[in-house]
Structure 1
């Protein structure tokens, strides 16, 4: 502090006796010195003094000195030392964090750095000044510029991103710093680029096309891949920013053969290796696993996912992941994320799913990896996140794979194989009926995924018999699930069983018949649906019970004598009522955890209490809800029509016309509903194709722009430095031709999509018109019925005999 005081005396001169200038006065005098001094040394000394004061008195320095410091950046470019003092002062003034020197001053706002940043960037030319200073090779100047830009991005990320985006060569200047041989600058640049690329797709594309992936993999390689330090983690975080939610960059990454370069990152250390899994290695591998998942995320287009999955299998990446999966000594969080990654690499790809199914764990005796994973899932001593990951991986293994679904069901059926070997089916049955509620839920949902979109396995699973008590006859798995549903008091177990039974019985009349024959099953569903408990979870149970009851009606083949389709409809209408039924059903989609589960196939929960609804069940519910309601409404209308049909009148011809017209419109309604459903599917297909074409088109346009820039640069060079441009011209012509083709394809798909949407809109309008007409006809029908009754009563009052089956009088009323 004494040194600072002596320095200020040197710059400002000694104060008069008895007077001690305030901080604001001192800053004012220093700023004046910078503005008015003709000697460079004086301005430099004043800037150094402002820097020294800027940590403790940043409000005073920022308020009085910002404009002057900006002038220094513009006018004193020739003196690196003065420029460096000005940059460091501005960085202190706009620092996003609080300095130790400020802790004693409670009047300084916490966001003071952000406020000064807002003032600084009002004039976009200030950012241009800072970017131009990146051209300076001086170590301190370049480092200070990078740190200042990082502070600005921390405080106002969106604003700075938009400003830099329109500055000529702004991003390119930053990318050049990754090649700086001074590691400190390179490392600080990585932090800057991580902030610059976060959440901005346009900047992400520019950075990617500036050879970012090549440079980053070079740094990762030089640092020792996963055994490297925090610089490796920073490189991977930047890659993750470039790829996340950016289909163009994912396409570029895939086409640039960068997936192969990921392979050395997944080296699992042997037990004999001293280093093992250091905390930094754990962070590095975790980041690389996230990158792999970004490439095959279910939110990507099907085309990109499929291509990346095939490459990962062909280059041995899936094999390396499975090696980590089966290795010993792997940290729990890495094992968990590896399981999730393996799941998404195999999801929907039959070849990759078969590969996973054939992986053997190095146990004694050897067991399939799938069985070992399921053993962890139903073991309540395993970490919660690990158990969730195994369920997701197993769901991915079964996804759109009838063979793996059939294989699971087969392990539950009687066979001649060695019964002493533990199977996946036995593990799931054990978990389904265990005392651990999470094992119940995980096992029920896993079995449910073996039945998704696979009617054949639903019927096969009906053959599964369970031995209950010694000496008692075995009962079917469905029978036992139904009994457990009635007996359990655990919310998660009830929900899991209701979801399993709903998936099992939908589109499977034999399963419905088997359920209806279990004592108490229907009564339980009716009582649950009629329950008046007022709680979100109780509402959910009531809605799920109503859903399963409606499935029992809609998919009923009348093979259960006591519960035919008609008798169940009557039971529902009398005991529950249509209005109450639809209200209960709607409670399912209102539940918070339903909406959370419907967004992504993977369980994204932090604690066991949040586990309740499965993604595939949400899809089933969404498809069937309106179908089931419509089925019951039609039955109600049919009953009304039958009652009216028993009566006849002088206007019977008119009534028959009404009924005939209603039947015709009902048929047309069904036809339109089918047409709308087909148009929706066509719309989705066209939209997916259009998105893929747009991504490819965008990718080619970006490359085309880069080539044009290269050609433009080449043309501006002296003739003796210009390289033969024929190859670049050829590439440019090829890209432009591809762009024309893709643009034509995009135009065609856009037209098809517009036609599909117009057709869908017309069909929906016609559907609405017909519904209104049908409602009007039903009202007229009811009016006719009232008039007939009125005529009948008048005839009786006049003493005319009236037949109960006919309201026509036996003689004329003349």
Structure 2
């Protein structure tokens, strides 16, 4: 410290006796020395002193010295040491972190670095100065320039990205530093590029086409792949930035054979279990799995996903992933992410799904990997995240694969195969009726995916019989699920069963019939829909019950005598009412879990209690909601609710009512059209008057300003008493009065115009509504005419005499 003080005395000169300069005064003298000294050594010493003070007194140094330090970067380029001091000082000033030296001063704002960054980048040439310094080979200058750019990006990433994007060779200069043989600079450049590429697709594309992937794989290889240090992780994080949500770079990665270059990352040596997994290896493999998932993410275009999946299989990457899946000693978080990754690599790709279906676990006796995974899913002792991952992987295995769906259902049907071996169907049935609510949910949803877009398996699953009590006849799986729904007291189990039954019974009349035959099934749905419980999850249950009840009506084939389509509609109308029914149904899409689930096929929850809705069910609900409401919506005739089908008797009286209503609406339509025409003319007149008034107002204001200027110029500066009003003064006041009057007129006209436009908008909306109503009535009229003709022909065919209904001319 004494040496530092003596150094400051040398630079600044000794203070007067008895006086100690403040930090601000010291900084001011140093800045003056940098600006005014003719000797390079003096400027260099002053820069070194400013750097020393910038950690503790960054506010003073930044406020007084930023412009001077920027000048040093421009004018003292030839002296690397001075440039290095200036860069380090700027980096300290704009550091996003707080220094230990600053902790004693509580008045320093937490975001002071960001504030100085905002000031520094107002002049974009400052960024260019720093970019140009990347060309300097001097170790300290190049390293300090990289670190300064990293700090700037940390503080104001979007602004810096946009500036660098338009700077010539800006990105190229940074990319060149990846080839620097000095590892410190290379490593700092990786951190810089990670921040630079985050969330900016244009920069990501430039970096990718600057051979980033080749350079990064070279570094990963030289560092030892997954067994390497944190530099491997940084390389993978940069790759992840370049690929995430960037279809252009994914295509480039795929076409450049880079998928094949990932394979060594997943090669697990035979002694891996003995050697263990270091924390860094876990991080490295986790990043690599994230890259694989980015390439085959369900949010990508289907063509990209499919081609990447094919390459991963033929390159042996899927095989390596399955080896990790079945290996022992794999850390839980890596195993969980590997399961998710395998799921997305096989999702919707039949060959990959078949490959996974044929993988055998090294157990005794050997079992299919799918069965081993499902055993983990229904085991409540397994980690929650692992169980969720298995469900997602199993869903991916079934996704759009009729063979794998059929295979699952087949394991539930009687067969001549070895009954001693545990099957996937048996595991799911066990989980479905388990005391563990999560097993209930996972199993129900897994079975639901076996029925998605597969009508044949819905019919097959109706054949599944379950043994209940000894001596009792077996009951169907659907029957048992319906009874379980009525008996369950847990919200998650009820939601899961309602989703399963909705998927099963939609587009499957025989499943609807089977449900309607279960005692109490319909009554439960009606009571649940009518429930008045006021809780978000209860609202969801009410909505799901309404949805399943609507499915029972819409897909009903009238094979159950007491629960025909029409009788169920009448029950719904009397017990629930259409308005209440529609409101309950809409509660499903309002629920938070529905909106979360609808965004991505993978279940993304943090705690077991958050599990409620599945992604595929969201798709089913979205596709059917409108159809069901439309088929059940009642019409109104004379204020009385009626059903849309045969309940309204076809009579000429109804026909006349429709036509009478149309005539009334025609008259109202003409009235509104005339009103609209009048408002349009008034609007045009008011707009013209307003424009004239505004022009006159502007002209008078200009004249008034000119007169005031003339009066002011003519008035003597040494008047001691107010002069009598001159002619110019009177004229000015006259113009002011006119301006004021016109301003009032303008305000009045503006108000009238606003009212006219509002009236025009209202009239237009009512006109459009009436037009739509008239179109609907005309459609109904056509339907009514068709029904009248149909009934007339039936009566004639039965030998009845039919009176002709009044013609349209008679009614008009």
**TM norm. shorter chain > 0.5:** yes
Partner of 2:775: 773
Once residues 630 and 390 of structure 1 are traced to their aligned partners in structure 2, the CA distance between those partners, rounded to angstroms, is 38
Aligned to 1:506: 506
Distance in 1 of aligned mates of 2:805 and 2:777: 26
1:602-751 pair list within 5 angstroms = 602-633=602-633, 639=643, 645=649
Task: Say whether the 8 Å CA contact 1:313–1:352 is kept in structure 2.
Answer: yes
Which digits, 9 at most, give the CA deviation of each residue in 1:131-190, with x for residues without a partner?
Answer: 000000000000000000000000000000000000000000000000000000000000
Listed as ranges, the gaps of 5+ residues in structure 1 are 662-764, 783-804, 809-814
**Aligned position for 1:327:** 327
SS at match of 1:259: helix
Is this contact kept in 1: 2:296–2:309, CA < 8 A?
Answer: yes
Q: For residue 729 of structure 2, what is the aligned residue in structure 1?
A: none
Deviation of 1:633 (Å): 2.2
Q: Does 1:362 align with 2:362?
A: yes
In structure 1, distance between residues paired with 2:211 and 2:108:
43
1:23 is matched with 23
State the 1:806 CA deviation: 13
CA contact (8 A) 1:223 1:232 kept: yes
CA contact (8 A) 1:648 1:806 kept: no
- 1:645 aligns to what SS in structure 2? coil
- Partner SS state of residue 162, structure 2: helix
* TM-superposed deviation, 1:653: 7.8
Alpha carbons 2:62, 2:116 under 8 Å: kept: yes
Q: Distance in 1 between matches of 2:161 and 2:805?
A: 82
Deviation at 1:522, TM superposition (A): 0.3
8 Å contact 1:445–1:496 — kept in the other structure?
yes
Contact 1:118 1:156 in 2 (8 A): yes
Q: Distance in 1 between matches of 2:486 and 2:416?
A: 34
Q: Return the alpha-carbon distance in structure 2 between the equivalents of residues 481 and 456 of structure 1.
A: 20
Which has the bigger relative contact order, CA under 8 A and spacing at least 6? 1
Matched-pair contact (CA < 8 Å) for 2:73–2:86: yes
Cα distance in structure 2, aligned partners of 1:54 and 1:807? 98
- Superposed displacement of residue 640, structure 1: 6.9
Equivalent-residue separation in structure 2 for 1:648 and 1:138 (angstroms): 98
1:625-655 Cα distance to aligned partner (Å, 9 max, x none): 1111111126888757856636556xx8857
Q: Take 2:331 and 2:481, find their aligned partners in 1: how far apart are those partners? A: 37
The offset of 1:16, in angstroms, is: 1.5
**TM-score normalised according to structure 1 size:** 0.81
Distance (Å, rounded) in 2 between the aligned partners of 1:282 and 1:103: 36
CA distance in 2, matches of 1:781, 1:84: 86
User: Could you state the TM-score of these two structures normalised by the residue count of structure 2?
Assistant: 0.81
Number of matched pairs: 681
Instruction: Give the superposed CA RMSD.
Output: 2.5
- Map 1:118-267; keep pairs closer than 5 Å: 118-267=118-267
The equivalent of 1:664 in structure 2 is none
Which has more radius of gyration?
A: 2
8 Å contact 2:633–2:644 — kept in the other structure? no
- Is residue 33–residue 42 contact of structure 1 (8 Å, CA) maintained in 2? yes
CA distance in 2, matches of 1:766, 1:389: 52
Q: Any idea what SS the aligned residue of 1:140 has?
A: helix
Structure-2 residue corresponding to 1:270: 270
Q: Is the 8 A contact 2:379 2:439 kept in 1?
A: yes
Task: Specify whether residues 376 and 644 from structure 1 end up closer, same or farther in structure 2 by C-alpha distance, changes over 3 A only.
Answer: closer
Q: Is the 8 A contact 2:634 2:644 kept in 1?
A: no
SS, match of residue 97 in structure 1: coil
CA distance in 2 between counterparts of 1:330 and 1:769 reads 68
Q: Could you tell me which residue of structure 1 aligns to residue 39 of structure 2? A: 39
Measure how far apart 1:561 and its partner are. 1.2
2: CA distance, partners of 1:432 / 1:643: 42
Structure 1 residues 26 and 482, CA, compared in 2 at 3 Å: closer, same or farther?
same
Q: Is the 8 A contact 1:62 1:116 kept in 2?
A: yes
Question: Residue by residue, what CA displacement relative to the aligned partner does 1:756-796 show, whole Å, maximum 9, x if unpaired?
Answer: xxxxxxxxx999966642247879999xxxxxxxxxxxxxx
Per-residue deviation, 1:13: 1.6
Are the equivalent residues in 1 in contact too, given 2:398–2:450 (CA < 8 A)? yes
Q: Does 1:585 align with 2:585?
A: yes
User: Quick one: distance in 1 between partners of 2:599 and 2:435?
Assistant: 30
The equivalent of 1:724 in structure 2 is none
Instruction: Indicate the larger mover: 135-144 or 639-648.
Output: 639-648
